[in-house]
Amino acid sequence: MISMSCKNLSLVFLIVIFFIIPVLFFSCAWVFPIADNRTSDIAELHIRDIFHKDIIEDIIKLFEIYGYNYNSSAVYSVLQEMFQESSVSFFMRSSDDDAIQEVMKELAVIRSAEKAFSFAIKKSQEIFTGNNVNTANIEAIEKLFILSFSVKQLLSNCVKNINSLREQIEQLIEEKTWDMEYQEEDSDLFFDIIELENGVTYLNRIRRTLLNNIAEISKTIDKTELYLKHHSD
């Protein structure tokens, strides 16, 4: 009797395994393409999406002090040219939900500020290494000043916006999680919520880094301002 019971249990076990494995296989085959599709939901940010109008206006006012005549189009052209020459681009996650799209863009701007800072520091090292502030090329210095000052203002704006953006995202997560519970199936919303939660984690740790970046980029601005002042005298 015991032997027969063992045989029966073995048979049941094999039958269960026979049916479960295909189910698991097709389930995985259905899940992973969703994740793969999510990686394609990325949009490129334009320079104007990152460096807002108020930042550009501050640069124009500062240049007027040194006798330089720049308008907003000229400043944007310099920034666009510098980033394009070094193949530096900025991206964001996209969403079909307008509210989620808005905060994802704001998160992307902060991440872009980090990337722009690294680029500005690299350009500064390229220009000043082997030169001193009195012999560097005036056109290169002007462009570096535009870049560095724009990045500093961008970083400052990001620091100011962190707390309010975090609160906005946390509220949005709560609302969208509630919505998802009453929807039969919305994998995109599920992944959007994960992105938002990752965004909160990012905001919780990035403030100090941005403040350090502001202090560092200010040194570059001091160098370029000294040169511009010397050249305008």
Find how far residue 20's CA is from the centre of its chain: 42
pLDDT tens-place string over residues 32-51: 333 444 444 889 999 999 99
How far is residue 180's CA from residue 226's CA, in Å, rounded to a whole number?
56
Alpha helices in the chain (DSSP H): 2-38, 47-50, 53-65, 72-85, 98-128, 138-181, 187-232
pTM higher than 0.85: no
Query: For the chain, what is the mean pLDDT?
Result: 81
pLDDT tens-place string over residues 151-200: 999 999 999 999 999 999 999 999 988 877 766 556 688 889 999 999 99
pLDDT of 232 reads 64
At 90 the three-state DSSP class reads strand
CA distances from 136 to 67, 93, 121, 132 (A): 19, 39, 16, 6
Angle ∠(150,133,67) on CA atoms, nearest 5: 55
Residue 129 is classified by DSSP as T
How far is residue 27's CA from residue 11's CA, in Å, rounded to a whole number?
25
At 51 the three-state DSSP class reads coil
* Residue 59 binned pLDDT confidence (cut-offs 50, 70, 90): confident
pLDDT of 34 reads 37
Give the bridge partners for 90, in sequence order. Answer: 45
pLDDT of 136 reads 56
pLDDT of 214 reads 98
